[in-house]
Homo-oligomer: A and B are copies of this chain.
Amino acid sequence: MSRLIDRMTVAGVGLIGGSLALAARAAGVVGEVTGLGRSEANLEVARSRGLVDRVTRDPAVAADADVIVLAVPVGSCAALATTLRAHARPGTLLTDVGSVKAQVVAGLERAWAGHGPVVGAHPIAGSEEAGANAARADLFRGRRCVLTPTPATDPAALACVRALWEAVGARVEELAPDVHDAILARVSHVPHLVAYALVAAATGARAAGHDLMAYAGSGFRDTTRIAGSPAEVWRDIALANAPAVLAALGEFRAALARLESLVAAGDGAGLEAELAAARTARRHLRVV
């Protein structure tokens, strides 16, 4: 594939940033990729695994970039953009990979105002694993990547970011930032909080001195897998998308309360109908 970007800086060479760097280089759509990070240990993993061409902890590296990708917890994005602006050349394209878009993109547009184009992006891919060790070139293949343009978004910059994600195998689409956030609150952010709460409740409970977690089976394991995700990442996501998360939590609570009241009433027919409807919906789910 022909080159889209000469020099790209990826700030945060973890699962997402590292995978994007690796995949974009493998696809031949970027020239040099620099990994910017805080942790020497993680940067050394990124360097030794060949995820990036070079690594640094110095934000002045932004001066060399045509495109800067922020792949850090969403609560750090705006402040990092402000830091990088002091070094970046005017016209540098700033994009991100955050799981929350409205607040994050607004923050980036403020930080980058009058300096260069901003494009919000969210690849719907990942796992509870984190860090450069978890990065892999095929992470985005066949996965959805949502771009969230605003009235301020430059069309050429949007096209560049679209081409980057298509080059690494993602199915790219566009949504308004608040629509993205409403959807992800329900299919991702609340499920994460629920998984953390399931673990917290089971950890706290004791039955006759037994360690409950020792009796967990594969159902508990899968249902709570994402509670192994980094706390800092999900703290930021929940707070940055708080209004949608709180609304979605309310919907979830109502759905659980319906089941609870059927259990309390001993209503077998009603309970079976609710469970069967959810089962049908779940069985139609084809996650790609």
Interface residues of A (CB under 8 A from B): 75, 124-128, 143-144, 146, 175-176, 179, 182-184, 186-188, 190-205, 207-208, 210, 212-213, 215-232, 234-236, 238-239, 242, 245-246, 248-249, 251-256, 258-260, 263-264, 266, 268, 271-279, 281-285, 287
Report which of B124, B229, B235, B266 forms a contact with A215, defined as CB distance below 8 A: B124
* Nearest opposing residue in chain B for A264, CB measure: B246
User: How many monomers of this protein are in the complex?
Assistant: 2
Report which of B186, B207, B256 forms a contact with A193, defined as CB distance below 8 A: B256
The answer for the CA separation of A207 and B176 in the assembled complex, in Å, is 11
Q: Tell me the dominant secondary structure on chain A's binding face.
A: helix
Whether the Cβ atoms of A197 and B285 lie closer than 8 Å is no
Whether the Cβ atoms of B220 and A188 lie closer than 8 Å is yes
Report which of B125, B200, B220, B232 forms a contact with A187, defined as CB distance below 8 A: B220
Report which of B125, B220, B231, B273 forms a contact with A191, defined as CB distance below 8 A: B220
* Nearest opposing residue in chain B for A271, CB measure: B235
**Chain B positions within 8 Å of A242 at CB level:** 263-264, 266
